[in-house]
Structures are given as C-alpha cells and as structure tokens.
Homo-oligomer: A and B are copies of this chain.
Amino acid sequence: MTSKKTIKSAFESMMFVWGEPLDVRVAAELFNINWKDAYDYFIELKEEYEQEGRGLQIRETNKNFQFVTNADNVEYIERLCTPVKEKRLTQQALEVLAIIAYKQPVTKGEIESIRGIKCDRVIEGLTKKDLIVEVGRSNGIGRPILYGTTDSFLRHFGFTTIKELPDIEDIAGAMNLDDLEEIVETGQLAIEF
C-alpha cells in the first residue's frame, strides 16, 4: 500500500505534466484506491496551496483537478510577458532634450527660438517618455510653461544630479571631430537645415 504522502506527491507531479484537468477517477485507478479517497487527497492538496497563499493553486472542475496560477499574480505575469521594444530618440528629440537639459527651466518659445523650428510634437513626445516635465510658469507675457528634465532622464544617463551633465566645452572637446564629420557624411544622424 502506497503511503498517503507518496500518493499526494504523485498527484502533484501528475497534474503538472498532464496540464489539462486530471480526472480523479483516472488518478485513483493508478493507485488502486477508492476514488473518494483520491478526491479527499486532491482537496487536501488544494487547501494546502490555498492556505500557504502559493503562486500555484489547484482548481477543481467537476472532479477534475489542475494546477493554475494564483489570480492575484496576473499583473506580474503580464509584466513578465510584455515584450520590451528598444526605442531610440530622433535627432530632433535629442536636440530639444539637450536644450532643456542645459537651459532649464526653459519655455517652448525659447527652445523654438534657439532651434528656429517648431517643437510642440517633440515636447509632447519627450513628456510622454517621462524625460521632461512642466516645472512651472514663466513670468513673461502669457505666462508660458517652463520645462525641465525629470529623474527618469537622470537615470537614463546614469546621473545622480543634473550637475553631472558634461560641460558644453567638454562635449565639444571630448568629441572627435573626424567622427562627427563621418557621422554627418554617412547620414547616421539626419539633420535638417
């Protein structure tokens, strides 16, 4: 006679590989036991998983048993299964971001006058990506919105504070001019004049 503990353990393994709901009668037959006893064992198992609040639960459907995930964890499973898509910022967006990073707090008008081109869409996109945020309103005519960078912006570049932004002179110095020209020539970065 197989021990109850062994049978219960076997039931767990069997449910796991079976995938589909496992019929109590089929399971009972394999151990030559009464189906009612088998049913009790399944119910005991079900209660154990329930009481321990496990991520696995046992679901009964008309005397068939099956492992399922705990409904409370759907959100986490969704997070696990949601693919991540790599996205790069466009040259335009990088320009606007750079202006905001260096001149913050800054109004859209100021950005546009530096770039000589409208940038409503770009600002909208950067806001959605949580890289910039409205930080207040200017005292100028029409009290335009002031923009600044977010903590998420700092995290992306691995900065602790905005002070860690490279000095503008440094950027120019650190950049190898040949590389730059090459980038421009090969059109890796599209620029509009």
- Least distance between A109 CB and chain B CB atoms (Å): 38
Question: Which residue in B15, B31, B69, B79 is a CB contact (below 8 Å) of A30?
Answer: B79
Interface of A is mostly: helix
Q: B14, B30, B67, B76: which contacts A10 (Cβ < 8 A)?
A: B76
Query: With an 8 A cutoff between CB atoms, is A59 at the interface?
Result: no
A71-89: CB near B (< 8 Å → 1, else 0) gives 0110011011101000000
Between A and B, 17 residue pairs with Cβ closer than 8 Å are A6-B72, A9-B53, A9-B73, A10-B55, A10-B73, A10-B76, A10-B77, A12-B54, A12-B73, A13-B77, A14-B80, A16-B56, A17-B81, A18-B81, A27-B80, A30-B76, A30-B80
The list of the 3 closest CB pairs from A to B, nearest first, reads A12-B55, A13-B55, A13-B73
A113 CA to B27 CA in the complex, in Å? 46
Among A8, A31, A54, which residue has the most Cβ atoms of chain B within 10 A? A54
Q: Assess whether B73 is in contact with A5, with CB atoms less than 8 Å apart.
A: no
Contact of A12 with B56 in the complex, beta carbons under 8 Å? yes
A residues adjacent to B (C-beta < 8 A): 5-6, 8-18, 26-27, 30-31, 53-56, 67, 69-70, 72-73, 76-77, 79-81, 83
A70, chain B: closest CB distance, angstroms = 6
Which residues on B sit within 8 Å (CB–CB) of A79? 30
**Closest Cβ of chain B: how far from A84's Cβ, in Å?**
10
